[in-house]
Structure 1
Amino acid sequence: MPTAIAVTSPDLVLPAADPHTPPPAVLSSPDIQPLDDALAHAHRLLDLHGHLVVLHPRSLAPAHERRLHTVRSLLESDRIALVASPLPPLGLAVLARQLCQLSVCDFSPGVLASSARLLAHYVHAGAVLNSVTRLDHVPVGLKTHAKSWLPGSQFAVVAHPEPQLVRVGAGELEGPDYACRLVVAGAAAPAEWVTVHLAAAWRVGAVLEAPLPGYSPSWWGTSKLTEFAAYLSDLSVLYQLVASVRRESCRWCGMELIGDRCGFCASPVPAPEHRLPAGGTYS
């Protein structure tokens, strides 16, 4: 069975990319799901899938994050990976779906968990905002703050992979230099600037619409926004991207990994000059 992927809110679940992609499970917040139900749910996922990778926002409410750690601790399971991501809400939903796509491939649970950090670099996540006065996740200059008070002002922002901020009509956002798709979500109708201008500038293959995640307004600092994320959608490209990275074994828990940190125990991979030579001892 494929490794189970989970998210922390149902509005982080996008429609499946294809009939073969399983949906992520949802590990709800403590005010929605009692602890006994959360334990039973996680236990069932482990019984069915062997391992569980939980993708959650780095800005997750402390009580919810404590719940995740409590579930892992009470189940005494080293088969649960808790992966925090800095991506904005819609970008995080995209990343969750990509992990679900890869979960049906031949990657080990450790590689799948640690691939989240790699794949996040290829998600260009941003929004069109009517105000940036409460935007905390992207640097905002004093002049831009002042312009935010002008009636009718709109700002185009990219929060990931590199912060960018321009006033709509007075600048352009740098986008991906590879074939991608664009998913758009808005509290009202998606902004035409995103679906027409940005989509053409970034040469996206298709524009898809999705519901706005519930915590997007708090993440972006305003309820008047259109959120967007450009991403790799082709499973063969995602597979080659992950498969091309050197695999190692975690020196702490033994799980297979890619990159510089284990997805399950978060142990860093030592720098090459600090690694033991073959045989396990220094001469």
Structure 2
Amino acid sequence: MYALPTAIAVTGPDLVLPSPDRHTPSAAVLQSAVQSPRTYSLDQALTEMHTLVEHHGYVIVLCPSSAPAAVVQRLHAVRSVLESDRIAVVRSDLPPLGLAVLALQLRQLSICDFSPGVLASAARLLSHYIYAGALLGSVTRLDRVPVTLQSHAKSWLPGAQFAVLATPRPELVKVSGGDGTHLPGPGFGTRLLYAPGKLAPGWVTDTLAPAWQAQGVTEARLPAESGRWWATGRLVEFAAAIPDISVLYQLVSSVRRDDCHWCGLELIGDRCAFCAAPLPPPSERPARRTPARGATALPRGAT
């Protein structure tokens, strides 16, 4: 009998997208991040996290960089009190819908044969392949993406709209007519998710999706945090990402793996996601490890 996969936890219910198949587990929504510390005590938060660790062995918490300081402090307090090296708090600069997509990808990969350390550190890698942005009716208060004075001035014009890309490289273009080719898109196969706010989604579905050669277009619920993140409710948030688990598997398994010199977990990249210890300089690392077996390993239970 297989053990439960590593738990992927999120700080809000809006970050949980529907499972694409019966094998992909859902994410755990941390009530300690959703509810106020006044109504959800530290003891309750400790019990919540302890239960997840006991059932899953390891917990990876995706926490947006925009999260209130109280949420971040509570997460680190819980980890400190439990004295557990099996809880990773992974901060992300992705906007809300993009973070929900990243959580879904980690949920898909959690049922493959990746160790918890590799899975947690894969969050940074996968973030570079998520094209997350929004169609905005105003950029006057936007501070998470560089905005020129000219764009600020244009945003006061009636009916002005802007296509903004937050990741992997910030871009901002004024939308005029049906032109969507000026917003740089992915050079690989993706599925486009969009979440309408107080703007019509036509430009995203009819112009951007074809320009980006999206393999599919799916509507999602707009996360509650999106209006605050983009500084306006007049928006349509979107995120294009790799939907195929075999491609995601190959992407992660092709990266060199190392052992963390502090906690001993496997990792990819330059820092352990569980204990935050940096990778030693190349001259001090052991010989290169053999990568995983390519993209042929199916999720447990898949046929």
Q: TM-score range by the shorter chain?
A: over 0.9
Give the alignment's TM-score, normalised by structure 2.
0.88
CA distance in 1, matches of 2:104, 2:243: 9
CA distance in 1, matches of 2:95, 2:149: 23
Per-residue CA distance 1:224-272 (angstroms, 9 max, x = gap)? 1100000001000000000010100011211100011111112221332
Per-residue CA distance 1:25-75 (angstroms, 9 max, x = gap)? 011325163322221111111111100000110111000001101111111
Within 5 A, what are the aligned runs for 1:173-252?
Answer: 173-188=183-198, 190-252=200-262
Give the alignment's TM-score, normalised by structure 1.
0.95
User: Is the contact made by 1:21 and 1:101 (CA closer than 8 Å) also made in structure 2?
Assistant: yes
CA distance in 1, matches of 2:286, 2:15: 43
In structure 1, the residue matched to 2:163 is: 156
User: Is the contact made by 2:136 and 2:232 (CA closer than 8 Å) also made in structure 1?
Assistant: yes
Give how far 1:88 is off: 0.4
In structure 2, the residue matched to 1:281 is: none
CA distance in 2, matches of 1:74, 1:270: 28
Give how far 1:83 is off: 0.3
Matched, 1:18 2:25: no
CA distance in 2, matches of 1:230, 1:11: 17
Give how far 1:276 is off: 5.5
CA distance in 2, matches of 1:259, 1:150: 45
In structure 1, the residue matched to 2:301 is: none
User: Is the contact made by 2:198 and 2:233 (CA closer than 8 Å) also made in structure 1?
Assistant: no
| Residue identity opposite 1:6 in structure 2 | A
SS in 1 for 2:132: strand
Q: 1:52 aligns with which of 59, 62, 65?
A: 59
Give how far 1:189 is off: 6.4
SS in 2 for 1:183: strand
| Residue identity opposite 2:250 in structure 1 | Q
Matched, 1:73 2:80: yes
Report how many aligned residue pairs link the two structures: 277
CA distance in 2, matches of 1:135, 1:188: 16
CA distance in 2, matches of 1:208, 1:34: 38
Give how far 1:221 is off: 0.8
CA distance in 2, matches of 1:214, 1:129: 16
| Residue identity opposite 1:3 in structure 2 | T
CA distance in 2, matches of 1:193, 1:276: 50
Give how far 1:188 is off: 4.3
Within 5 A, what are the aligned runs for 1:76-95?
Answer: 76-95=83-102
CA-based RMSD of the aligned residues comes to 1.4
User: Is the contact made by 1:12 and 1:89 (CA closer than 8 Å) also made in structure 2?
Assistant: yes
CA distance in 1, matches of 2:104, 2:94: 14
In structure 2, the residue matched to 1:64 is: 71
User: Is the contact made by 1:57 and 1:85 (CA closer than 8 Å) also made in structure 2?
Assistant: yes
Consecutive unaligned residues in structure 1, runs of 5 or more = 279-283
CA distance in 2, matches of 1:148, 1:48: 50
User: Is the contact made by 2:192 and 2:209 (CA closer than 8 Å) also made in structure 1?
Assistant: yes
User: Is the contact made by 1:13 and 1:24 (CA closer than 8 Å) also made in structure 2?
Assistant: yes
Q: 1:9 aligns with which of 1, 5, 12?
A: 12
Moved more, 156-165 or 24-33: 24-33
Over the matched positions of the two proteins, sequence identity in percent amounts to 61
Matched, 1:126 2:133: yes
